[in-house]
Amino acid sequence: MCDLSDPRITQTYQAIIEGEPTDWLLLGYNDTRDVISLYSSGTSGLNEFRNQLKDEILFGFVRVEDRFILISYVPDQVSGVRRARTLVHSRSVASLFQVHHAQLTASSLNDLSDANIRTRLKLGENQVPNRSRPNSLSERKRSSLQARRKSQQQQPPPSDRPSLPSSPTTSSYTTEPDTFEEAQEDFSTPPLDTTPSVTPNLSTPTPASLSSATPTSTSTLDANDYHQSDDHHSDDQQDSNEQQHLDEQRRLDEQHRLEQEQQQRLAEQQRIAEEQQQRRAEEQRAADQRAAEQRAAEQQRLAQEEEAKIQRQKEEAERLAKEKEEERRLQIEKDRQEKQRILQKQLQQAEKTKDVIIQGFSNVQTNGSPFWRRRFFAVRGKNLAFYRDHDAATPVTIIDLKSISNLRWTDMEIDTFVPNAFMIEMSDGAGYQIFADHQQDAQTIFTALQTIIQSK
């Protein structure tokens, strides 16, 4: 359906069909889908109407003489879907413009020539374009009936006067569809025969014979004969007009049927085109979805491969790190054992010579004291002596290594944790915590003490 609610449309249409100067109008969509509005109107007929046409879908209504034609202008480049919609909307326009004698669908200005329009409106060459005509068939019938009643009132009874011979007449008519023009009659005087009329086997001339023998002028004809002849022609003209009206109605019905069939065909074509378009769209969506799923699957596969690669690299790095760590641990253990072997050898040698086995600086904290003391230590024989510095001759503290009950590295959960530190626990309950400046120094001191304790 379309929107024809623009009030200017019906106002201009009424002006055209009521005989006002406006004789054409032009409708269009004005860049909408189904809203039809008035573009323009004018008073100069087909030429002005054609000059207003644009390269778009338009609807026109034109008055040519006393006829009306409804025009659908659809350029050739309009698509099939819009063409079908135009046909549907043209039916709505035709329903609004009910007073029209013909419909025409045009695609170019050549289709709207004066000859084509007049042919479609059945305006022949014998018509008088500017002659005023009755507006409707009912008005002509009323005029004819009034003339007939007037003729019958003026005509005397036929029994009171003899019949007169009818004189030859020459009548001139212009026959047009749905119109009737007053006949112009020329009455001529027939030639008179001067020879007396002789009727055989009659002794007395009859009034009819006397009348026929007497020359009669057309000027003396009775007025009733004239009116009867006029009524006769009027009835014939009315019958002819009614027949033409029926023929025109049948033609319009046939045209309407053909347009409906064409509309149905175009609607079917539009439906098929829309179904094909929808099917193609669904196929395209399915193809796009498959392609998206394939891309997602490929991306997931690549991501999994990359993740697996990273995992393998990580595992390989961990394996290499473990191997390297194990190699380092083994090397440390090997070095420790080698140092311990060397240290034991040195200890054995030192015991024989009573020399210092190991000496250096360390930090010492006794049980119950919160303070650390920096002391110089020396291991000689079975004793560990602490000096205030390396020049002092008298030790501050001497620990009998044979009295050590436990030698261990510090435990951060039970001891004051200090890096590179170990604990010496004595049999009498006393204890010392010692830490060196470096891990290697702490390991050397711890190994020396451990070796001496184990050899006691």
pLDDT digits (tens, 9 = 90+) for 201-214: 434 444 343 333 33
Q: What is the CATH number of the domain that holds 57?
A: 3.40.20.10
Q: Do the beta carbons of residue 129 and residue 118 sit within 8 Å?
A: no
Q: Model confidence over 126-148: pLDDT tens digits?
A: 444 433 343 433 444 334 434 44
Q: Within a 10 A sphere around the Cβ of 238, how many other Cβ atoms?
A: 15
61 domain residue, yes or no: yes
Length of the chain: 456
Listed in order, strand segments (DSSP E) in 47-175 are: 58-64, 67-73, 102-106, 169-172
Q: Do the beta carbons of residue 76 and residue 107 sit within 8 Å?
A: yes
Listed in order, strand segments (DSSP E) in 217-344 are: none
* Residue 147 vs residue 435, higher pLDDT: 435
79 domain residue, yes or no: yes
Domain membership of residue 69 as a residue range: 7-120
Handedness of CA 406, 407, 408, 412 (dihedral sign): positive
Q: How confident is the model at residue 442 (pLDDT cuts 50, 70, 90)?
A: confident
pTM, rounded to two decimals: 0.32
* Residue 269 vs residue 221, higher pLDDT: 269
77 domain residue, yes or no: yes
Q: How confident is the model at residue 264 (pLDDT cuts 50, 70, 90)?
A: very high
* Residue 168 vs residue 400, higher pLDDT: 400
244 domain residue, yes or no: no
DSSP 3-state assignment of 155? coil
Structure tokens at 263: 């509309």
CA-to-CA separations, 9 to 3, 14, 37, 139, in angstroms, rounded = 11, 9, 7, 28
Which residue, 86, 120, 154, sits at the end of a domain?
Answer: 120
Over 70: is that where the pLDDT of 123 sits?
Answer: yes
Rounded mean pLDDT of the chain? 77
Strands 102-106 and 67-73 come out as: parallel
17 domain residue, yes or no: yes
Which residue, 120, 150, 179, sits at the end of a domain?
Answer: 120
Q: How many domains does the chain have?
A: 2
Which residues share a beta bridge with 363? 374, 435
144 domain residue, yes or no: no
Stretch (H or E) spanning 362: strand 356-366
Q: Model confidence over 299-335: pLDDT tens digits?
A: 999 999 999 999 999 999 999 999 999 999 999 889 8
Residue range 415-424: mean pLDDT, rounded: 81
Q: What is the CATH number of the domain that holds 398?
A: 2.30.29.30
95 domain residue, yes or no: yes
Which residue, 120, 135, 165, sits at the end of a domain?
Answer: 120
Over 80: is that where the pLDDT of 77 sits?
Answer: yes
The gap between the terminal CA atoms of the chain, to the nearest Å, is 118
Angle at 128 between CA 123 and CA 130, to 5 degrees: 105
pLDDT above 70 as % of the chain: 71
Res 354: pLDDT: 62
220 domain residue, yes or no: no
Nearest to 65 by CA among 137, 128, 139: 128
* Residue 185 vs residue 291, higher pLDDT: 291
Nearest to 102 by CA among 261, 246, 253: 253
Q: Model confidence over 326-380: pLDDT tens digits?
A: 999 999 889 878 877 776 776 666 666 566 778 889 989 888 788 888 999 988 8
Res 347: pLDDT: 66
Res 189: pLDDT: 38
